Amino acid sequence: MLELRLVQGSLLKKVLEAIKDLVTDANFDCSATGFSLQAMDSSHVALVALLLRSEGFEHYRCDRNISMGMNLNNMSKMLKCAGNDDIITIKGDDGSDTITFMFESPTQDKIADFEMKLMDIDSEHLGIPEAEYHAIVRMPSAEFSRICKDLSSIGDTVVISVTKEGVKFSTRGDIGAANIVLRQNTTVDKPEEATIIEMNEPVSLTFALRYMNSFTKATPLSSMVTISLSSELPVVVEYKIAEMGYVRFYLAPKIEEDEDETKP
């Protein structure tokens, strides 16, 4: 028996919007601690890890650990039927091959039930070790999204370099090159506009912008994004989900050699 009641239903909608482009099918794992998902994109270059802690739900009941395979596009279709202010309740029975999404309007005058078929997904769960990152950049998520979008109009890859000067996003393409440098900036009125750079060691890594751009689909979830870089690890792009968890995207770097070859 599973019953998860999420008052801020829009969160779930946003989560789905954030990951459905990257991953089509995934197993949602439900345990006493929370509702989570880990999935790789089809090319195994990027990985999504989602956690919604049980405390974040108004009501959380999960009798036993359960893994439910869902097609994220289908799930997103159903969640789109929920209003932004709706309360979403996820219900499932043991042994059932369906899951039910119940949407209650804030005024309780409309209740909708959507039942979705589950699927068997053979997924691989990866162990993600805790790591010390060479550099951690916290910046406004909208800014990051903008940078990725802008750069992808010029090149296919972005080089993210963190030095004591700041963080530099650069790309190069047929029509030219672009460099965007952000400096640490903590003297802002609102904390969500700050750019905070913690650097232990300078680091510079190359990533495919295509993936970065799909990560930024999570921008509505959080006003801040945290980018953690280490030279021998995938970058982590993390969006915190208010009080209850996170969406983390891991992206394997491109191996740099001669940059020019990747640029058509």
| Concatenated DSSP letters of 64-124 | S-EEEEEEHHHHHHHHTTS-TT-EEEEEE-TT-SEEEEEEE-TTSS-EEEEEEE-B-----
Contact footprint for another protein (CB under 8 A): 40, 42-47, 121-129, 156-157, 208-210, 233-234, 250-258, 261-264
CA 250 to CA 264: how far, in whole Å? 25
Q: Between 45 and 182, whose beta carbon lies closer to another protein?
A: 45
| Residue 20: CB minimum distance to another protein, A | 13
Beta bridge mates, 91: 3, 100
Query: Do residues 72 and 25 lie in contact, with contact meaning Cβ atoms separated by under 8 Å?
Result: yes
Instruction: Compute the C-alpha angle 136/139/144, nearest 5°.
Output: 110
Three-state DSSP at 8 gives coil
Q: Between 49 and 88, whose beta carbon lies closer to another protein?
A: 49
| Residue 130: CB minimum distance to another protein, A | 12
Q: Between 75 and 208, whose beta carbon lies closer to another protein?
A: 208
CA 149 to CA 197: how far, in whole Å? 21
Tokens representing 92 are 């499932």
| Residue 75: CB minimum distance to another protein, A | 18
| Residue 113: CB minimum distance to another protein, A | 29
Q: Between 23 and 79, whose beta carbon lies closer to another protein?
A: 23
| Residue 184: CB minimum distance to another protein, A | 28
Q: Between 43 and 187, whose beta carbon lies closer to another protein?
A: 43
